Amino acid sequence: MNQPLAIAILGASGRMGRALIDSTLRTPTLRLGAAIERSGHPLLGSDAGTLIGVAPAGVALTDQLPAALAATAVLIDFTSPAATLAALAACVAARRPIVIGTTGFTPEQKEAITAAAREIPVCIAANYSVGVNVALKLVELAARTLGDDYDVEIVEAHHRHKVDSPSGTALAFGEAAAAGLERDLRSNAIYGREGQIGPRKRETIGFATVRGGDVVGDHTVLFLGDGERVEISHRASSRTNFASGALRAAEWLAGRPAGLYSMRDVLGLNG
């Protein structure tokens, strides 16, 4: 019988970190091998199970990333761009795969991730929900089929604590629409409107951002035509679906050759 895959979780005390701990402890094929936080974090030394309100897991929060990587098979990271880049370097040194759920990377940081993927397996996605990734595929198909006769607008809402805007998932929906329309998103995206802006350009892909309350994540892509509109929406009511998808990606990534993978690879949606 195969041994459970040992998972390391970076940012273990955060919202996603706690959801990942909970899902890992509930998954028979996985084992929580390490729960990692930044140096000086007040919860260092706390038991990961106690942290999420269940029985002790026998894994204490640590700031010793190299030791944690040595004792585990895959690192899952939902932190910040700077923390992710530091973890990525540690994973390259330890020859460990990494599942990245952090968003908000600069173009230079994305290049660093691509370079690391030449050395180790890296899975990066703006959203690890299976439903979101199916919706991304549908958006690309809808954009390709509806074509230039429909205007594309993307509306997203998240909790008041989210620091990046638009969300990484909203940008992924924009990229999916742009791919279907054979447009360059960076050249055609509009991230807000105010004042006398003039008529809408046909090639525009617009984004509207809402922040407030405890919204986990709502996304709607609107295809607005003359006489009708098509809407593709995804609404998350908890972080469990993100955690389950990230763990699915971790199991898939273990043993893969070096390369840059996405959740669409994990789900077989790139065909």
Share above pLDDT 70 across residues of the chain, in percent, rounded to a whole number: 99
Check if 5-124+239-267 and 130-236 are the same fold: no
Whether 162 sits among the annotated catalytic residues: the reply is yes
Give the mean pLDDT of the chain.
95
Q: Which fold has domain 130-236?
A: Dihydrodipicolinate Reductase; domain 2 (3.30.360)
C-beta separation of 61 from 37 below 8 A: yes
pLDDT tens-place string over residues 57-87:
999 999 999 999 999 999 999 999 999 999 9
The pTM of this model reads 0.82
| Residue in 41, 110, 137, 162 annotated catalytic | 162
C-beta separation of 119 from 256 below 8 A: no
pLDDT of residue 1 exceeding 90: no
- Give rounded-to-5 percent helix, strand, coil for the chain: 40, 25, 40
pLDDT of residue 175 exceeding 80: yes
Q: Work out the pLDDT band at 238, boundaries 50, 70, 90.
A: confident
pLDDT of residue 2 exceeding 90: no
61: nearest Cα among 49, 72, 47, 75: 47
Ordered DSSP codes for 183-222: --HHHHEE----SS--SPPTT-EEEEEEE-TT--EEEEEE
**Distance between CA 170 and CA 32 in Å, rounded?**
31
Beta strands 205-211; 151-158: pairing state: parallel
Return the CATH number of the domain spanning residue range 5-124+239-267.
3.40.50.720
The domain ranges of the chain are: 5-124+239-267, 130-236
Whether 161 sits among the annotated catalytic residues: the reply is no
75: nearest Cα among 63, 87, 67: 87
Exposed, middle or buried, 194 (CB in 10 Å: 0-12/13-18/19+)?
Answer: exposed
Region for residue 248 given its phi and psi (left: phi exceeds 0; alpha: psi -120 to 50; beta: otherwise): alpha
Secondary structure letter of residue 64 according to DSSP: -
| Residue in 110, 137, 158, 201 annotated catalytic | 158
Q: Work out the pLDDT band at 227, boundaries 50, 70, 90.
A: very high
